[in-house]
Amino acid sequence: MGILVVGSIALDSVKTPFGEAREALGGSALFFSAAASFFSPVSLIGVVGRDFPRAEIEFLEKRGVDLSGLEVVPGQTFRWCGSYEYDMNEARTHRTCLNVFQDFKPKLSEAHARSEFVFLANIDPVLQQDVIAKVREPKAIGCDTMNFWINGKREELLKTLSLVDIMFINDAEARMLAGVPNLIKAARAIRKLGPKILVVKKGEHGSLLFTDHSVFAVPAYPLEDVYDPTGAGDSFAGGFMGYVAAMGRWDEATLRRAMIYGSVMASFNVEKFSMERLKTLTKAEIETRFKEFRRLTHVDEFTV
């Protein structure tokens, strides 16, 4: 089954200890679409300015991403400038120019409104609710958010959370949202706000899945060089939701495998700047790394 994603499309200028990229493809919707397209048909809803280098996302169309929901309007595309220090866990934002993204109002076609799986990337929770209201009979709605909305639009964010099934959040933001320092307690508090399924991303420390039944942990892939962490969270969500949509169900076993596919996509994404690694990635490489992730935690059955 297909998946609808609503989010940002940006031109990123990023500096890390390993180099820099200027005006490179970025934004939550692009990273998500690139990752999810390996698993499911993806429809993207977003907006760019007339300056957007449309040819650079032809690789998404070749992977079957439906770009009919990509609006092109007069003005400049959303731009983000940021950098990372050696620990790579937190981005330092130098400049954000929302440009055409400031007036973004998601428009869904008839076909988009019939989507069974939906991902609301990190955008204003008011827009997230607007999309939820327009989708007819979704099987599962996932969402992401960030400190900006947790602090600035808390009430609206809480309303969004009451309407979604799966939430993706990083560990610092989970603690901030719940207001408790212990991550396990924070996860329990957030799940009470609505999302039955909670995915907490911990960067170089892996990720955790919280459901009614259990906690599931995936370590991070042991990478020696993280070139650019931008988009890791969106690639994770893309792998996860793409796999869930492909399976058409979200039982415990499917969710656990989705966690690994999410981790796989994030681990590839950070190996190069912008979307360079996702562009050249193959399904075979994904399956090989999936097996490597399984081996990272594999324990032989005990025999004397």
Residue-wise over 87-126: b if at least 16 C-beta within 10 A, else e?
ebbeeeeeeeeebbbeebebebeeebeebbbbbbbbbbbe
Site for a second copy in 236-275 (CB under 8 A): 253, 256-257, 260
Q: Tell me the sheet residues that pair with 71.
A: 47
Contact 273, 24 (CB under 8 A): yes
**Euclidean distance between CA atoms 110 and 107, whole angstroms:** 10
CB of 297 to a second copy, least distance (A): 4
Among 58, 61, 87, 287, interactor with a second copy by CB under 8 A: 87
Contact range with a second copy by CB under 8 A, out of 66-74, 138-146, 162-170, 213-221: 213-221
Among 22, 192, 205, 291, interactor with a second copy by CB under 8 A: 205
Contact range with a second copy by CB under 8 A, out of 47-55, 63-71, 206-214, 281-289: 206-214
Contact 26, 237 (CB under 8 A): no
Decide: is 223 part of the binding site for a second copy (CB under 8 A): yes
Decide: is 219 part of the binding site for a second copy (CB under 8 A): yes
| Among the listed residues 238, 275, 253, the one whose alpha carbon sits nearest the alpha carbon of residue 3 | 238
Decide: is 204 part of the binding site for a second copy (CB under 8 A): yes
Strands 42-49 and 3-6: parallel
Residue type, position 260, single letter:
I
Among 74, 212, 224, 282, interactor with a second copy by CB under 8 A: 224
What does the binding site for a second copy look like in residue numbers (CB under 8 A)? 86-87, 181-185, 188, 202, 204-206, 208, 214-219, 222-226, 253, 256-257, 260, 294-300, 302
